[in-house]
Each structure stands twice: as structure tokens, then as C-alpha cells.
């Protein structure tokens, strides 16, 4: 698909939203700016830092996360922890660091349903989340040393010596 055509969606969204009198004009401006980057490398205008609406900075982070965690015709979806690494690699240059940090605190890094490998060679499925500790989920253990076991749960908040070393499968849609 044509790059110019793809990039035009920011302007198209702005033009649609600015004509809706039931929403604030700032919403239209945020749609227009959601591909701007704080170093000026974004589009459609190449604006930077304080020229970008604070809400557009937040939307930019959420948009990139959504894009890379969604399946595309040219690649499979990334897992949330991989997407966060992309956001962190651009924090302070492409993305507002505060927006990336706030986003990290609000998203499940290991979503419920994903299969994970632990550092002690146990394998399990994320079965729940701990509020405020998105990198320490509750895991339903299904195997130990590659041998199936009667499933049981552990809470990584209570097992500080355990860490997730790998995600083995994506959750089904």
C-alpha cells in the first residue's frame, strides 16, 4: 500500500472529527498528531516536544502498542512484553517517557492465557494479575522439568526468586 495514502489517515481522521460538534476540538487535534514524535521525526507536520498535545503523546504510545501486538499480513503479533521493549527503546526520543511509564503500569505485560517458562524449569499459564505489579502475575503450573503435573497456582508476588524467562505461546483470539 502507498505510504502517502497510509499517512493520510491522520489528516482524514482530523477532518472527520473536527466537524463533529459533540466532541471537543482537542480530540481532532490528537487524532491529527498521534503519529508525531517528540524528536520531530513523525508525521504529518514533523512537530516536536511541547508542540504535541499531551493526549496525542499518550495516544501515540497506545497506538504503537496496539499495532505491534496485532497480527498483520506481513508479521505475527508480538507479545506485550516485546511491545513494551519497543516503547522503551523509543522513550525520550520518539515517545514521551512519562506516557510510556504510565502505559506500562496499566497494561498486563503477561496477559491471562499466555504460556510462560519460569527460571526453575516450570511451565505454566498466566491465570491472573496482581494490581500494580504487572510483571508478577499468578501462574497455573502445568509442568515441571518438561513433565506434566497436576495443575497448581503460584503467585509471583510471593515467589520473588522466580522470574519468567520466556513466553511460549500467544493467547488465542
Percent of the chain with pLDDT over 90: 75
Output the CA–CA distances (angstroms, integers) from residue 116 to 5, 124, 139, 144, in the order listed: 39, 6, 8, 12
> In angstroms, rounded to a whole number, what is the distance separating the alpha carbons of residues 119 and 145?
11
Q: What is the pLDDT of residues 79-108, one digit of tens each?
A: 888 899 999 999 999 999 999 999 998 888
- pLDDT-derived band at 18, boundaries 50, 70, 90: very high
User: Residues 6 or more apart from 28 whose CB is under 8 A from it?
Assistant: 13, 14, 17, 18, 20
Q: Is residue 151 pLDDT above 50, yes or no?
A: yes
> In angstroms, rounded to a whole number, what is the distance separating the alpha carbons of residues 126 and 47?
41
* 110 closest CA partner among 145, 81, 147: 81
pTM of this prediction? Answer: 0.79
pLDDT for the residue numbered 173: 45
Amino acid at each position: 500500500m502507498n505510504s502517502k495514502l497510509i499517512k493520510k489517515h491522520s489528516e482524514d481522521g482530523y477532518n472527520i472529527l473536527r466537524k463533529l460538534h459533540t466532541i471537543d476540538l482537542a480530540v481532532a487535534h490528537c487524532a491529527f498528531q498521534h503519529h508525531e514524535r517528540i524528536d520531530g521525526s513523525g508525521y504529518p507536520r514533523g512537530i516536536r516536544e511541547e508542540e504535541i498535545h499531551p493526549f496525542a503523546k499518550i495516544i501515540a504510545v497506545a497506538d504503537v502498542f496496539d499495532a505491534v501486538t496485532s497480527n498483520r499480513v506481513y508479521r505475527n503479533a508480538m507479545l506485550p512484553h516485546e511491545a513494551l521493549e519497543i516503547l522503551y527503546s523509543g522513550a525520550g526520543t520518539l515517545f514521551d517517557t512519562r506516557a510510556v511509564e504510565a502505559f506500562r503500569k496499566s497494561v498486563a505485560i503477561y496477559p491471562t492465557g499466555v504460556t510462560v517458562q519460569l527460571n526453575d524449569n516450570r511451565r505454566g499459564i498466566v491465570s491472573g494479575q496482581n494490581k500494580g505489579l504487572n510483571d508478577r502475575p499468578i501462574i497455573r503450573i502445568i509442568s515441571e522439568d518438561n513433565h506434566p503435573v497436576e495443575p497448581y497456582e503460584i503467585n509471583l508476588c510471593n515467589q520473588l526468586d522466580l522470574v519468567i524467562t520466556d513466553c511460549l505461546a500467544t493467547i488465542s483470539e
